[in-house]
Structure 1
């Protein structure tokens, strides 16, 4: 008798015992895993009760409190009793709106970044007005998280250029990827930045991460990055509207040194450095096309 025949004969003669053993194993297996599931759910309940007592341990608030829970010290960014006044801008017909939209598009479509400026000075009131225009931009909870530093002093401009060029030399040779440097070649950009001393004015846009209230407590600035970016857009539009040109430069890795040079506080970070002026009579710009409307607009 071979092994297979022996096994079959044994099962046939002892089928009751075999079936009983299988049933017992199944019951034992079920009870064992039921106990494990009960223990798991009890642990989950304990954790949920603990969270309910101590507060949720989920993702931290994007704008955390400063640790002071006293309601008497929680003040809004602007007075709570600020009156709301009627807002009635001049109403224009559809034809007027269409004409204005065309005129403004045609004006802004001519805006170009230039790297060669005329040394002609800019009237101070013009600089005042374009910065005031930037200051009309919307901001989170009306915190207005920006500082615009306008530099016209030749020595300070030269110091800014020296700092930026030192950092840019490292950026181009060590910090920036080869693809990044390659993408910039059509624009003829190099570590040398002569326009920083040649342009009649430099506008440095600082973002305030926070400020201080009159009682010495920190005043949080919400969405300071996007708010400052919108204000910079207003600034560029104002520069274009009054007939001047600018260069939107981002002084990579120069923030701390420029902040110290201009005596700006630690709560401010330099986001943009804009040389502003009239274009040099021999300035040139790349012959570029902008994306057509169908590539940037989705109609739903």
Structure 2
């Protein structure tokens, strides 16, 4: 068979030839991954046991493999272990949460959260060994000015999903905490105006007496349609 003619490129390209798995092996791996991730839960009760810095590095390395619009990788992860800074984050987050739970104009939102039994108390932010905050980069400042980023929400969301997957694979737990508004994180973590806080992740091992709400996931027939 004659090899295909090389395609002309204006930029560097390299061959991509991942191994093609037999269908049965691919399905087996897919089933294992599903069963692994189906056991993941968001946690609000954490142990203070230490988590090695290398685990955070690996999780962010994994997030860095995510696809992104125009390969601009518009994310920054800030890892916090300093107890004083974690406490200041807690106080600021709780202030925003008290305002949220005190609002009387969003009863449906409060009702949707009721089965999770959440409130303004975020004690876990003092307990966890790490707080990792994902920031979304709206643009990048270069020597020639501002470089706008595209598909920022989609790109950072995918990266955060892979970050969560990596943590779960290492036996760690987290929570997608999004106090609203989150501008206090920009100030406390000294980030530039080109970035905005996206998700605050407490990271640690579940507490020995950890509990989670009894929930069921959406059935496949609701999540997948065939045409």
Q: 1:157 to 1:178 in 2, by over 3 A?
A: same
Q: Judging by fraction of residues, say which structure has more helix.
A: 1
Corresponding position: 1:290 with 2:217? yes
Correspondence for 2:149: 221
Q: How much has 1:175 moved relative to structure 2?
A: 7.0
Measure the CA separation in 2 of the matches of 1:267 and 1:96.
Answer: 44
Deviation string 1:37-80 (CA, Å, 9 cap, x unpaired) is xxxxxxxxxxxxxxxxxxxxxxxxxxxxxxxxxxxxxxxxxxx9
Gaps of 5+ in 2: 1-8
In the alignment, structure 1 residue 267 sits paired with structure 2 residue 212:
no
Q: Deviations over 1:130-163 (max 9, x none)?
A: 0111011111111110000111111110000000
User: C-alpha distance in 2, partners of 1:279/1:268?
Assistant: 30
Q: Segments of 4+ in structure 1 off by > 3 A?
A: none
- Aligned residue for 1:133, secondary structure, equals helix
CA displacement, residues 165-217 of structure 1 (integer Å, 9 cap, x when unaligned): 0111111102761221122121110011011111111110100000112x241
Q: How far is the alpha carbon of 1:229 from its aligned partner?
A: 0.6
Q: Which whole-Å CA distance do the structure 1 matches of 2:21 and 2:153 have between them? A: 33
Residue 207 in 1 paired to residue 207 in 2? no
Higher relative contact order (CA 8 A, sep 6+): 2
Q: TM-score, normalised by structure 2?
A: 0.93
Match of 2:5 in 1: none
Aligned counterpart in structure 1 of residue 77 of structure 2, from 124, 140, 148: 148
User: Which has a greater percent of strand?
Assistant: 2
Equivalent position of 1:280 in the other structure:
207
TM-score, normalised to structure 1, is 0.71
| Cα deviation, residue 285, structure 1 | 0.7
What residue is the counterpart of 1:104 in the other structure?
33
Root-mean-square deviation (CA, aligned residues, Å) is: 1.3
Query: Partner of 2:102: helix, strand, or coil?
Result: helix
Tell me, in whole angstroms, the C-alpha distance in 2 between the residues paired with 1:294 and 1:167: 38
| Distance in structure 2 (CA, Å) of the matches to 1:172 and 1:260 | 23
Distance 2:107 2:15 in 1: 55
Q: Which has the larger radius of gyration?
A: 1
Specify the alignment match of 1:166 in structure 2.
95
User: Quick one: distance in 2 between partners of 1:126 and 1:257?
Assistant: 26
Q: What is the total number of aligned residue pairs between the two structures?
A: 219
Return the offset for 1:81. Answer: 5.1
Partner Cα distance (1:290, 1:223) in 2: 28
Q: 1:176 to 1:282 in 2, by over 3 A?
A: farther
Structure 1 gap ranges (5+): 1-79
Question: Who is 1:44 aligned against?
Answer: none
